[in-house]
Structure 1
């Protein structure tokens, strides 16, 4: 299909020039036509009226010597002595000049006239000219111009819409092809479908950007896969080695406890890797083969894993399972979200208590730490934002990761001040929960 190579800017300029010339020409032709037609109509009407009056006059005065005066013009000259004989309507106009007056005809209708007055020392001269036909013609011309403006306005709207669609068709086509590519999920070349103009340049730039973006996403996926493989391998070695060492019967209880911590830490690292890979790919991983997560069990594992943070702190930790809660989500995702919330509570609480409550559809993590301000609660979920009063290092990424996981799975997380002091983190799961058995069953 052959495409026009005229640039878009030139097409817009030429279209507006043609549109302006066409509209102006049409309006000029219409004005000339209406003026000629109205003038011709005015002259014809005037002549017809005069011939009708002449015929009527001759019927009343059949004598060939009877004079007939052209009724459009009436003249009168009066001296000072005969000024009272001047028509009463003219007597107020005694100064030289031209005046607009109205008089009633035989039928009682107001008729407009021009009255020209000339005054000398001894007499006045009056000339009255009937302009009723002229005024009627002006009114007709005004109405014709109003109709013409409305017609040309409607015509300009139609032509403008047609021209705008024609001029902007390449842009609309480009947007449509972009939407089609997005729906199809495939990368299609855009530049070959457009002319060598501004839209073609834009299509070429989009093609180049899409190629760079696709290459970057491919490298990112490859990097994630490589990192996942390289990290899982040493974690698998740690887990298998720990399992073998725990099976040794001659091991002391103290060493066994430390190995269990190593085992839990390796499991937590594997879960964190799974969650971060999901976030990097923006993919929601559903449970495989009906897999689901018991939230109470996940909370218990997280509390045990995070308990070393409370070493040498007078903080009591308790778990209350008020309702059974099973979520259709991978255990790694649930554990990472809960680990960050519980870890924050342990980090900020220097003394007092941390209470985790598993309720229907949600988990509450309450602590007796320094608390938070209501206006700062939402900002703590931003990357790099840390709460006040925290000791030790940290990049302020934990809550940001929780928010991203919640956005990915349709959950909700929020922070609020605890009424008795401290803070409470609330993790609300979506309505798509697996029917849970009664607690303790």
Structure 2
């Protein structure tokens, strides 16, 4: 009736104010009856008899009940108005706080007015935003600085390996050791790059946002992984079309492109990671199915792979950093390691363990989400939802 939602503070305040107002009116009427009860019959005409007195009492009671009903309606309206005025500053604070994101932590509520409870709440939120801004900034600087500083000794070690191998007639053991060390150095470098991307995505830094063709990203990712796909003899099916179920050989098709808006670099990394995950954690002669179908407001990118049955409890944890896949019922690789931390070494390969956590962070930064599901027939289904651009 008054735009109230059950259970809200506004509704409770309205009922409270109306109850107090109505109770005061009822008490006032009761006191009037009690104090004037002895004089009511004295106003009856001479000789009218008891019936007239009773009729006057009934009229008085009817008038009082009508007045009380009208007061109840008025009390509800007044209660609603008073509740709105009392809660207006809180609504302003809520609205301003909701507009503050990880990209705008420098904004403040800056509520003016007397030093009351509402201003104390706003000042407390401003202080909290200041601490969050400092913490987020320190975290970003630490990751960026640490990654930069760690790349310097990595470059030095690579140079030392190159010098050792470039010497005349290097020992075969030296060449083999250099090759193994280069592989480990590349893995560390890839891990550092993953940290930077994950931090950027988690903080929603999308300064380079533009319209991106998702089909083109899928095509590029598949081409990059072509050697591994051929080596494992994987069967890849790509169904990327604005029309659900229409299979196309090349997902890049000008006017029929499936587009979203966001950071090209982050979205490219998202697609690369889901494709890389599908290829890396697949078996020889396996299969991969990739579909991207837009709905009215969103694009659903799905990557499915075959394989052994997986435990959904382990799959649910794969979006966390350094969690890797293991088949359901696989033997433990070490004591005291629960869940997906018991990694099957041959399936882990050179993976950094950040792939799907980066996918989840990038999807969230773009207003989307990641869903992982163990397929009933074995294998994994990775579903990424992103906003569509018409």
Q: Per the shorter chain, which TM-score range? A: 0.5 to 0.7
Residues 1:364 and 2:283 aligned together: no
The answer as to 2:374 corresponding to 1:416 is: yes
The aligned runs of 1:154-173 (5 Å cut-off) are 154-173=73-92
Point out the structure with the larger strand share: 1
* Superposed displacement of residue 219, structure 1: 0.8
Residues 211/166 of structure 1: CA separation in 2 closer, same or farther (3 Å cut): same
Q: Which residue does 2:235 correspond to in 1?
A: 320
Q: Which residue matches 1:149?
A: 68
Residues 332-375 of structure 1 show CA distances to partners (whole Å, capped at 9, x for unaligned) of: 443334444544457xxxxxx462425443443322x3x125x5
Alignment of 1:86-125 (within 5 A): none
For residues 432 and 243 of structure 1, do their structure 2 counterparts lie closer, same or farther at Cα, with a shift above 3 Å needed?
Answer: farther
Partners of 1:183 and 1:35 in 2: CA distance: 69
When residues 132 and 392 of structure 1 are mapped into structure 2, their CA distance, relative to the original with a 3 A threshold, is same
* 1:362-391: CA deviation from partner (whole Å, max 9, x where unpaired): 443322x3x125x54753446469744265
Structure 1 unpaired stretches of 5+: 1-14, 51-71, 73-129, 305-315, 347-352, 434-441
Equivalent residue, structure 1, for 2:44 = 43
State the 1:287 CA deviation: 8.1
The structural deviation recorded for 1:301 is 5.9
Q: Deviations over 1:69-122 (max 9, x none)?
A: xxx7xxxxxxxxxxxxxxxxxxxxxxxxxxxxxxxxxxxxxxxxxxxxxxxxxx
Which structure ranks higher in relative contact order (CA pairs < 8 Å, sequence separation ≥ 6)?
2
Aligned length: 312
Cα distance between partner residues in 2 of 1:266 and 1:301 = 22
Residues 285 and 322 of structure 1, relative CA distance in 2, 3 Å threshold? farther
Q: TM-score, normalised by structure 1?
A: 0.52
Gap runs ≥5 in structure 2: 1-16, 239-249, 253-257, 293-301, 335-339, 343-352
CA change 1:321–1:390 in 2 (3 A) is same
CA apart distance, 1:173:
4.4
Q: 3-state DSSP class of the match of 1:334?
A: helix
Q: For residue 322 of structure 1, give the secondary structure of its aligned residue in structure 2.
A: strand
Give the alignment partner of residue 94 of structure 2, picking from 172, 175, 180. Answer: 175
CA distance in 1, matches of 2:286, 2:114: 67
Q: Cα gap change, 1:235/1:298 in structure 2, threshold over 3 Å: closer, same or farther?
A: farther
Per the TM alignment, residue 283 of structure 1 is displaced from its structure 2 partner at its CA by 3.3
Q: For residues 29-54 of structure 1, what are the alpha-carbon distances to aligned partners after superposition, in whole Å with 9 as ceiling and x for unaligned?
A: 865899799646x613xx3xx5xxxx
Q: Higher mean Cα deviation, 332-341 or 385-394?
A: 385-394
- Structure 1 residues 37 and 401, CA gap change in structure 2 (3 angstroms): farther
- Which residue of the other structure, out of 263, 266, 272, is the alignment partner of 1:335? 272
